[in-house]
Amino acid sequence: MTTIVTWNIQYGKGVDGVTDLKRIVDTVRRMGPFDVLCLQEVAVNFAAMGGGETVDQAADIAALLPGYAPFFAPAVDRPGSGGRRRKFGNMILSRLPMLETAAHVLPRPAEGGVHHMPRAAAVALVETKRGALRVVSTHVEFHSAGQKLAQARALRALYAEATANDRHPPLPGPGPYEAGRAAIGTSIGGDFNFEASDPPYAAITERFGDGTEALRDAWTVRYPGKPHDPTCGIHDRVQWKQGPHARDYLFVSAGLAARIDSVTVDMRTAASDHQPVRVTFSD
């Protein structure tokens, strides 16, 4: 089995207002063994979040998970006090060998008068028993509908480009031109800030016309016709006045979708305003 967990941890802040990264890690461990952990909303040196302006959550989370290789890809990277950088973004931790990593900035079409912030995707190629698996951890804009759609289309395009390079690898060369590994499949997990009935969901799962495998929602593959278990608004009704609903997903390439063994949402935990999603794949 290969298991991926994705979770927007709200910089470790629970519904009780307490920031506790150990509680986050303990919650994930209670869901069962996992190979790859995709996190969103990891804060570094932000005074108003994550415990203070000298707290490096990326380092602290890595310390709580010995044996897991960490990759932190900030979407926000700005100056802070004392020469420190303030960073906020996505993280991947893998107990499987991490072959390559990359960070991609997502589009941010101008929209005056609306709150929005830079968004990004962390990408890691990890070694599984079946071969290299491409894993993405991302967080799509909340406030701007136009940016949500643009970012969903960008994630779909990044996936299509990467798989095209898998099928048609470049000529290898010395140094950074050395040949990389082709992925056997792709998973894109995170907080997408849209529901399954929204246009960005349709955009990211739209079929390709060139033979590229479509991206599929792991939940709908495992439970066709069944509404998503809620991943938000269960315990926090202040931020999420609409109540329980799903906005956190794991989209997977069609070949990988055929290997889905289970999809579970921990709806009990209130360690964040979101719920963790766990997906296992057969070897």
Q: What is the pLDDT of residues 145-204, one digit of tens each?
A: 999 999 999 999 999 999 999 999 999 999 999 989 999 999 999 999 999 999 999 999
Kindly list the distances between the CA atom of residue 18 and the CA atoms of 24, 47, 55, 217, 272, in Å, as whole numbers in the listed order. Answer: 11, 15, 15, 32, 10
pLDDT tens readout for residues 42-96: 999 998 887 778 999 999 999 999 999 999 999 999 999 899 999 999 999 999 9
Domain borders along the chain are: 2-169+179-281
* DSSP assigned state of 23: H
Domain 2-169+179-281 in CATH 2.60.40.2550:
no
Give me the pLDDT at residue 52, please. 75
Verdict on whether the full-model pTM lies above 0.75:
yes
Helices (H), the chain: 21-30, 57-64, 145-167, 199-205, 218-222, 254-257
Of all residues in the chain, what percent carry a pLDDT higher than 70?
A: 100
